[in-house]
Amino acid sequence: MDHKDNQSPQVRILLEFLEVAITSVVFLKGVYPSGAFERRRYMNLVVQRARHPELRDYIHSSVWGLLPFIEKDLVERVAVIFFNADNNPVERFIFKLVVNQSYSSKVEEADLEFSLRSFLIKLSVSEPLTNVLSHDCRWEITAYFRSLPDKSTSKDAGLWIPTDTKQWHQPPLITPIKSMSSEPLSLQLYLEHPSLN
């Protein structure tokens, strides 16, 4: 399926970016051996791409499954959550996004890509901000919606299931990584850790 046909350029660029950024997060955390990834070029940067088809497909289908919800302005955040062996979240990479679908001016794709490129550069050097994960950790991609899609009016509502992810009892420690605010896209990337209390 060609994803480039019917959506706005800013949504297409955002989804392509999220796919690469999430893969970069998983690579950065060392969940899989480095041989599970291969070097590719994206936005004139060297990035990692998952070699294993199931890993690549999970990331791809999770991100592109958000398309109808981003177009309806329902998605507030996309998170890559890492869990310990007890299934408790120990670290979250959060992509908080706002896409202005009513933006009427022509979007300069090169400008938008230039701004998003800086996120990938910053992400690649953010390892010192993260915690070391145990060898038996797991991870998942979670989307947080502003409101739940109506199952009676949206055929895509059944694609996503409510999460049973445990929440932290205290507000998390937040470490900003990068943000941009412009038309038609605003994006923040930050890291959350459980509070030490």
pLDDT at 188: 95
Would 117 be classed as within a structural domain?
A: yes
Would 3 be classed as within a structural domain?
A: no
pLDDT at 19: 97
Would 38 be classed as within a structural domain?
A: yes
pLDDT at 157: 56
Instruction: Tell me if 32 sits within 8 A of 38, measured CB to CB.
Output: no
pLDDT at 140: 95
Domain with 185, as residue range(s), is 9-148+165-193
CATH number of the domain that 44 lies in? Answer: 3.30.900.10
Would 160 be classed as within a structural domain?
A: no
pLDDT at 2: 47
Number of domains in the chain: 1
**d(Cα 107, Cα 11) in Å, to the nearest integer?**
11
Would 101 be classed as within a structural domain?
A: yes
Would 154 be classed as within a structural domain?
A: no
Would 157 be classed as within a structural domain?
A: no
Phi, psi of 90 (to 5 degrees): -115, -15
The low-confidence residues of the chain, meaning pLDDT below 70, are 1-7, 102-107, 149-168, 197
Would 153 be classed as within a structural domain?
A: no
Q: Tell me the DSSP string of the chain.
A: --TTSSS-HHHHHHHHHHHHHHHHHHHHHTSS-GGGEEEEEETTEEEEEE-SHHHHHHHHHHHHTTHHHHHTT-EEEEEEEEE-TTS-EEEEEEEEEEE-TT--SPP-HHHHHHHHHHHHHHHHT-GGGSPPPPTT-EEEEEEEESSPPPTTT-TTGGGS----PPPPSSPPEEEEEEEEE-SSEEEEEEEEE----
pLDDT at 1: 41
pLDDT at 184: 81
Helices 9-29, 109-124: inter-axial angle, 10-degree rounding = 10
